[in-house]
Chains A and B, each alone.
Chain A
């Protein structure tokens, strides 16, 4: 069995990998502070996967009427992130990537003076911004035809500290047809859960969409025999609008409930967005 691996990339960033987790970590600050922060992140990363695995059956169980009893710090972040969404089908796994990013970011920051820090867990991103700092991000909706679909710059005044993206083209399976749903929230775990569920809700029935039971794609999938999207051919504009409308309505409910600050939905070149006035931190 391979242990957690941490290595510095030629450009100075820290890369941590263990099984399915790939983190890219970048911190800004005085050199010694950055080194100390990286060392703390590495130390925390070493046991994260094992902690998750220990509670995996519970983490793959849909959240229902009772809050799941979990002991691990990351597991608790996951459960907390999906709990507000329990009216629909959701398991804590919907927030796993974001929760790992949040946990490692917390370890990175502990006692260190950093002006800015980013923990990118395969596109689900937790970040820290000291006053005056800002984060520029770009969104690529379709990895098969990469293009910058949206740009945003978030400054320290914004409450947003997490960004996550979900869609049927991504590594995790989606029940919906969005190319990409990007959610901005107060933590990466919250963003991750929201993006997953908005992407699931961005849906329409159309005979040309291919769906297969999630378990036929990945034996261990927490989605069980629910139908995961495997191909979305070009759809008529009415179907695209209907799917985006359903997703946007879901995103709007989350915004109204204070669960997200913003969301961007992209489907076959059309997009829909919702956001709060304070999402990017600048005066509206």
Chain B
């Protein structure tokens, strides 16, 4: 029996190849028996020689979960190696749509329809790679910096690929892609949009420029870089909000607290929160424009200093200390909205602030501010609609699949990752690209994105909705006959085959 990994015995005899140190592998995936040199691909472009090993360039991806109770991980198998029948079992293996289709242009894949047993119920997983002409990305950029006005164009390489949408708590939302940019504009716009989405969905970094706003380097799961400066933490809130959250915890330990923030700087005793606690006015007046009591705009210029301002000496934002109101011994805490910067002062007899070691109770609250600031990240959610032809690969009666998904009988996953299905018509889904296997996304020149999608449901339900039951193959047969590679199941993703 020959084996795809077997080296060509002729190499030693053939002077052409022996001089290259046996770098040639004989592929026996088909009768052509290509001799493939290291780094080359065979005539089909599906198999290649990677460091002396024959590998399938587009294998099916299997995800394996830990064996119940034992905690042992099922051994991963070498890519491209045929199943020897022993190492993997149906109960802990899920076939993803990744690699279910092979070539473009011109045809949609016949999906794999796999049946396996889960808790004694025959379960069917229809595995395919869907082509999503209607698709986009929703980006959440954790930052307090101004990225651009709502509705402003988001551009990559000068082409509009999306727009700025709502500002959310501590973050700015961007909507990229969509069918209007993909196919509704110029070809160049469509191709650049598709390429930008593809790279973002595959967790690569992409630089975007917003009209009338910032330039942002975005990468799923990484801190955004705004105008060349990396975000570190989301502030707990603006200066005013920070006052509101922590006022009670400062009471009795400080006579005045100023929370320095590029957006709204808060002054505790003037603020509604301080008044509510019956705090005595401290008479420390900060620079900037007062919005409402205790809330000040523009105490300094934006920058890399305290609270997103350009200051490094917090006292520089104090305009004056009113001798009629302030008093010697007044305890002043100054802190930024992330807790990264903080200083404690006590006014001397001449009402001058003197830097003093911070008392422990105040230090604890400063630390708590920092603790409540989450790491600033960019999140990328794919959103797309599973259209008629994709559903037709699952069932002869596509609307029944939609209804089954809606009734929660059919579980939809993308590369094994859970998805959120929008209410209303169709199967419009959102999925966090970070929960999918790496490099799950591809494209077709339409342009449109291609990604794995799996529909899992009990066999009986599959038969009811007019599924291609005759085309279903046992999981064991897929493992035996298809080329595949295995990865570990992602912790935190629910197991799709546990259907009711």
- Chain A interface residues (CB < 8 Å from chain B): 1-2, 7-11, 13, 15, 17-20, 22, 24, 49-50, 53, 56, 120, 123, 140, 143, 145-147, 171, 216-220
Contact = CB atoms under 8 A, between A and B. Distances in A.
Interface in B22-55: 24, 28-37, 40-45
B445 A143 contact: yes
A24 B107 contact: yes
B445 A146 contact: yes
29 contacts: A2-B29, A2-B30, A9-B107, A9-B110, A10-B108, A10-B111, A10-B389, A10-B393, A19-B29, A20-B30, A20-B44, A24-B106, A50-B31, A53-B31, A53-B32, A123-B105, A143-B445, A146-B447, A147-B187, A171-B45, A218-B34, A218-B36, A219-B17, A219-B24, A219-B34, A219-B35, A219-B36, A220-B35, A220-B43
Nearest to B29: A2
Contacts of B103: 22
B55 to A, nearest CB: 15
Contacts of B187: 145-147
B212 to A, nearest CB: 30
Nearest to A172: B43
Given A219-B40, A220-B43, A19 B110 contact: no
The residue among B2, B32, B393 with the most chain A CB atoms within 10 A of its own CB is B32
B32 A11 contact: no
A11 B42 contact: no
Contact of B107 (A2, A15, A143, A217): A15
B33 A53 contact: yes
Contacts, number: 82
Given A50-B31, A53-B33, 16 more contacts: A1-B30, A2-B29, A9-B107, A9-B110, A10-B389, A11-B392, A13-B107, A17-B102, A19-B31, A19-B32, A22-B103, A146-B191, A146-B445, A216-B37, A219-B24, A219-B36
A17 B42 CA distance: 15
B445 A19 contact: no
The 4 closest A-B pairs by CB, nearest first: A19-B30, A146-B445, A20-B44, A20-B43
Contacts of A123: 105
Interface residues of B, number: 35
A18 B43 CA distance: 11
Given A10-B392, A145-B191, A146-B445, A220 B34 contact: yes
Contacts of A140: 105, 445
A8 B445 CA distance: 23
A267 B33 CA distance: 34
The residue among A2, A11, A19 with the most chain B CB atoms within 10 A of its own CB is A19
B31 A49 contact: yes
A10 B24 CA distance: 39
Contacts of B33: 53
A9 B33 CA distance: 28
Nearest to B445: A146
Contacts of A18: 30-31
Contacts of B44: 19-20
A216 B40 CA distance: 8
A49 B35 CA distance: 16
Nearest to A171: B45
A19 B106 contact: no
A20 B108 CA distance: 18
A213 to B, nearest CB: 12
A218 B41 contact: yes
A20 B42 contact: yes
Interface residue SS majority, chain B: loop
Nearest to B106: A24
Contacts of A20: 30, 32, 42-45
A11 B393 CA distance: 9
A120 B107 CA distance: 11
A58 to B, nearest CB: 15
Given A19-B30, A219-B35, A219-B40, A10 B45 contact: no
B43 A19 contact: yes
A144 to B, nearest CB: 9
Contacts of A15: 107, 110
A102 B393 CA distance: 29
A11 B108 contact: yes
The residue among B36, B45, B107 with the most chain A CB atoms within 10 A of its own CB is B107
Given A9-B107, A15-B107, A218 B28 contact: no
A11 B398 CA distance: 13
A50 B31 CA distance: 6
A2 to B, nearest CB: 6
A147 B187 CA distance: 7
A217 B392 CA distance: 40
Contacts of A56: 32
A8 B113 CA distance: 14
A22 B110 CA distance: 14
The residue among B111, B389, B445 with the most chain A CB atoms within 10 A of its own CB is B445
Given A20-B32, A147-B187, A219-B36, A10 B445 contact: no
Given A20-B43, A22-B103, A219-B40, A8 B110 contact: yes
Interface in B98-143: 102-103, 105-111
A218 B389 contact: no
Interface in B75-95: none
Given A8-B110, A145-B187, A146-B445, A49 B30 contact: yes
A171 to B, nearest CB: 6
Contact of B37 (A19, A145, A219): A219
B126 to A, nearest CB: 11
A1 B37 contact: no
A2 B102 CA distance: 15
Nearest to A145: B191
Contacts of B40: 217-219
B30 A10 contact: no
B193 to A, nearest CB: 13
Contacts of A17: 102
A50 B30 CA distance: 9
Nearest to B45: A171
